[in-house]
Chain A
Amino acid sequence: MENTRKEALRIEKLSIQFGGLKALDDLSFTVYENEIFGLIGPNGAGKTTVFNCITQFYKPDAGHVFFNASDARQRGHLKRRDLPADGEMVDLVGKPVHRIIRYGLVRTFQNVEVIPELSLIDNVLIGAHVDFNSTMFEQALRLPRARREEKKHRAQAVKAMEFLGIADIKDQLAGGQPYGILKKIEMTRTLMCEPRLIILDEPAAGLNNTETEELAKIIHMIRENYHCTILLVEHDMRLVMEVCDRICAISFGKFLATGTPAEIQKDKSVQEAYLGEQEDE
């Protein structure tokens, strides 16, 4: 079945070294379109490093990050010379960090990165940054195009906030909001650019049980309504097992196993990696 599915993201032989430490060692895995894919591993396995290599915050020493950006032309966020050839996977390695979102790949952060001085809706609107075509002069003079764009994206932001049930507090300042709300703001922000792939870095961290259950529902809802692929790193095993279609387990930067949640739970090497770690403690 997998052969017939379209690839969304293919990691190939990714390696990165910090000093003498091999954080990622020849790591490969593939995420298919419209899939919820989990990346798990014991502490220090290099999960966040993988994310940072995909989004180009780190430049990997070797390997490729192929991303399916077949709709890049329709998105219209890239300059013509940056457009990938039709039907071709784009290697993200070496691309500027701020251009990654223009291919349709957007991420959240482990420690929520929300601007406390702005209202919630303005925070969400930052996610639409690449959707604006009006120039600074058009914005400074509030020319028709700038006004039209602002209005359009504001409406879009309200819709996205309604989707996550936070539209009624949209004008409140982000500073001082509970953690759960801030997490939702970060999620809403990723939806603004109509992403193809959303990368969630530990979305359940700091949430209580009820909130985690709600999160699982939200992740499913996002996939259904926005027709995108979701890749997540998570410590909360219950969430991973509940929401993920497939999982990749890594340990010390090396590939361990990939498969459905049930397969992963049964996998010997995965059990060893986790139990081994517990014995060390």
Chain B
Amino acid sequence: MTATIKPQKAIQAVLKNAHVQFLVFGGLLLLLPVIAESGIMKMSTLETLGFVLIYSIVSIGMNLLLGYSGLVSLGTAGFMGLGAYLAAYTVENLSLSFWVAVFAAMVIPTAIGLAVGAISLRLRNIYLAIATLCISEILMKTFEQLDWFTGGTAGKQSQYPTIFGDKLDRGGVFVVIVVVLVLIMMLTHNIVNGQMGRALHAMRSSEVAAQAMGVNLVKYKLVAFALATAYAGLGGGLYLFFLKSSYPSTWSLMLSLNVIAMVVVGGLRSIFGTVAGAVIIWGVPELVLKKLPVIGSISGLPYIFSGILIIVVIMFFPRGLKGLFDIIVDRIRRLSKKKVSAVPGKSADTTEPTEPEVQP
């Protein structure tokens, strides 16, 4: 209509770009350490949020597996723990840099994951889950026994990393986590919206049809598994640097299940949904539930909470928080459409047909 609308539309178009959304999201997260420094937010809250972001990274990997490829793994915790110990060992025992540590935390679990996957990915559904669970349990037992590497049940201690000659503090590590998360979100978005993502979709939907279209099932299952493992290892490495310690008991089945819960509650095949899932499954119990009177003192409360949530989501919102969000947005759009059409003298159809943008 008039020239004044155009810049608005341009801004809208830019904001619809997934990469811009990820960057804006990251930018907002970077404000959190500043807020915490100023004393408005407690430092412990920042710590919990840091873990939420680390679990987001790991869950996005799980979403590639569970959401896109339709594969289930219960081995996330084992690989995440392996990443954490490898990072600690690289920095503490080998005195190598942060970068080497993060690289080792990603690459070595991925290599082991690939070897395991080459055998276990021939299994389907529940059998694959059982096989990966076994691997995770073996890793956890190894963490308990292998004193020279993990410090045994007493745990492995480390310190905040030094990057570019700067010794970081908690806020600094938080910034690193945010940067890594945003990078992971962008890379994952690119992967799932390209040829490889379509191949994963095809594989989940129908293995037969996927093969007929030329998708090599073994290759793509391995790639999805390797990516999920790499994200888990990376998350483990960041965990170590954020908490400065790692104990075998952390890397239990409960953690693997929590990661799955984050994906399911947040929304299969949605990147922002996965982050929202991590906020709900990890953040809400830590920040809200544990502080409630009476209920807060029940042990195992987070598990009860996530258990109930999974049941509710699967029964009523199969597409998770992302699905719920879409429904609400749709309702609001329709309401505003009605209002516009109710105004006399204006054409009813000023709202454009909603373009099904590629949702991040």
From B206, which residue of chain A is reached at the shortest CB distance? Answer: A113
Q: Judging by beta carbons under 8 Å apart, are A136 and B223 in contact? A: yes
**Taking the complex as formed, is A146 at the interface, i.e. its CB lies under 8 A from any CB of chain B?**
yes
Q: Mark A33-59, 1 if CB is under 8 A from B, else 0.
A: 000000000000000000000010100
What is the total number of residues of chain B having a CB less than 8 Å from a CB of chain A?
A: 27
Q: Judging by beta carbons under 8 Å apart, are A132 and B190 in contact? A: no
Q: Mark A116-130, 1 if CB is under 8 A from B, else 0.
A: 111100100111111
Q: Mark B192-218, 1 if CB is under 8 A from A, else 0.
A: 001110110110111011111111110
**Taking the complex as formed, is A106 at the interface, i.e. its CB lies under 8 A from any CB of chain B?**
yes
Q: A106-B212, A136-B223, A150-B194 are in contact. Are A126 and B202 (CB under 8 A)?
A: yes
From B355, which residue of chain A is reached at the shortest CB distance? Answer: A171
Question: How close is A40's CB to chain B, nearest CB, in angstroms?
Answer: 22
Q: Tell me which residues across on chain A come within 8 A of B205, comparing CB atoms.
A: 113-117
A-B contact pairs, 13 of them (CB 8 A): A100-B214, A109-B212, A115-B204, A115-B205, A122-B201, A126-B201, A126-B213, A129-B213, A132-B195, A134-B195, A136-B223, A139-B190, A139-B191
Taking beta carbons and an 8 Å cutoff, which residues of A are in contact with B?
55, 57, 77, 96-102, 106-107, 109, 113-119, 122, 125-130, 132, 134, 136, 139-142, 146, 149-150, 171-173, 189, 193
Most chain A Cβ neighbours within 10 Å, of B190, B194, B216, B269: B194
Question: How close is B327's CB to chain A, nearest CB, in angstroms?
Answer: 15
Q: Judging by beta carbons under 8 Å apart, are B191 and A117 in contact? A: no
Q: Judging by beta carbons under 8 Å apart, are B187 and A141 in contact? A: yes
**Taking the complex as formed, is B356 at the interface, i.e. its CB lies under 8 A from any CB of chain A?**
yes
Q: Judging by beta carbons under 8 Å apart, are A55 and B212 in contact? A: yes
The listed residue (B190, B206, B213, B355) touching A140 by CB distance below 8 A is B190
Q: Tell me which residues across on chain A come within 8 A of B269, comparing CB atoms.
A: 117
Q: Tell me which residues across on chain A come within 8 A of B355, comparing CB atoms.
A: 171
Q: A98-B214, A102-B214, A126-B198 are in contact. Are A119 and B190 (CB under 8 A)?
A: no
Q: Judging by beta carbons under 8 Å apart, are A118 and B194 in contact? A: no
From A118, which residue of chain B is reached at the shortest CB distance? Answer: B201
Q: Mark B337-360, 1 if CB is under 8 A from A, else 0.
A: 000000000000000000110000
Q: Judging by beta carbons under 8 Å apart, are A119 and B211 in contact? A: no
Q: Tell me which residues across on chain A come within 8 A of B204, comparing CB atoms.
A: 115
Question: How close is A27's CB to chain B, nearest CB, in angstroms?
Answer: 21
Q: Tell me which residues across on chain A come within 8 A of B201, comparing CB atoms.
A: 115, 117-118, 122, 126
Q: Tell me which residues across on chain A come within 8 A of B211, comparing CB atoms.
A: 57, 97-98
- CA separation between A273 and B173, bound complex, in Å? 77
Q: Judging by beta carbons under 8 Å apart, are A129 and B190 in contact? A: no
Q: Judging by beta carbons under 8 Å apart, are B191 and A136 in contact? A: yes
Question: How close is B122's CB to chain A, nearest CB, in angstroms?
Answer: 15
A127-B213, A141-B190 given; 10 more Cβ-contact pairs under 8 Å? A97-B211, A100-B212, A101-B212, A106-B212, A115-B201, A115-B204, A115-B206, A117-B205, A129-B198, A139-B196
